[in-house]
Amino acid sequence: MNDYEKETKRLKTLIESHLSGFLPDIDVKSMTLFEAMRYTLRSPGKRIRPTLLLLACLSMRGNENDAIPYACAIEFIHNYSLIHDDLPAMDDDDLRRGEPTNHKVFGEGMAILAGDGLLSAAFELMHKDYLLHMDDVKALKRRLRAGDAIAAGCGCRGMVAGQAADIETEGREASTELLDYIHINKTAALIKAALEAGAWLGGAKPDTVRAFSGYGENLGLAFQIVDDILDFEGMTAVIGKTAGKDKAAGKATYPGLHGIEDSRKKLAALTERAVSSAELARKGGADARYTGILQELALKLAERCS
């Protein structure tokens, strides 16, 4: 096991050891809600977004314990988005991470509320951490900037905007510009926010935060192209959800618009840009060990559909 594998495995284990403990205390009368929230949160995810947040923080020689609440908050937000994405009114999927989707287990109404609960829990968690640092202006500023990056990434100028455009484009031919807009927001925005938040928490200066942001946007778009290719090629076992649904639903995808060969070329270009952005972060003061891990992560992602 190399350094990349050891460190990403360690961080994933650290994140998973905190996730359930950071959920708010819920009255026994709302136990079904709690179980629905925990069902998706405990399913076997890759924890990419919180891992990226911690890697960015560690790259700037920050303390991972300071960043853990924000890493878990962004995983709460990601899981809320998965629950809502899988609903019949959205992507209408029966499988997520190889297991029945939340609404298939708890019903549509409870699934909607479980997603709502995870989103609000994310902001409660971050605000609790702000309150612990009210007397340390420097530490509080770092945390507020991290929270602001996460809020922007998941909201109506980020992930939700991309999801809305995705719905409106179903069954219609999308331009390259619109396709990029959908996925820069729907997928890349929260990944970019994770990198920005981690960099702020680690004490990065604005120019270095921008380098991490560039890495995150390129990685996020690469991630979406990989997902599109695997869905197009029918790789249900690899992606953990029902393959072929995007094409059946008339979704705008990279292979659908550009074909597989050109999609692979775009993936290679985005991967190269992500690697270059991580190198810019290193030149801006980030630790070479962790920027190297970020570079390897981008290369490993591209290998999933090679």
Contact partners, residue 208, CB within 8 Å, separation at least 6: 60, 199, 281, 284, 285, 286
| Fold designation for 3-292 | Farnesyl Diphosphate Synthase (1.10.600)
Q: What is the mean pLDDT of residues 206-220?
A: 98
In which residue are the tokens 């990029």 written? 180
Classify strands 99-100 and 95-96 as parallel, antiparallel or unpaired. Answer: antiparallel
Residue 171: pLDDT band by 50, 70, 90 thresholds?
confident
Structure tokens at 6: 């050891």
| Among candidate residues 65, 39, 44, the one with its CA nearest the CA of residue 54 | 65
Q: Dump pLDDT digits (tens) for 37-77.
A: 999 999 999 999 999 999 999 999 999 999 999 999 999 99
Residues facing 99 on adjacent strands: 96
pTM score, two decimals?
Answer: 0.94
* Every domain of the chain and the residues it spans: 3-292
Contact partners, residue 259, CB within 8 Å, separation at least 6: none
Helix 206-232 vs helix 288-303: crossing angle, to nearest 10: 20
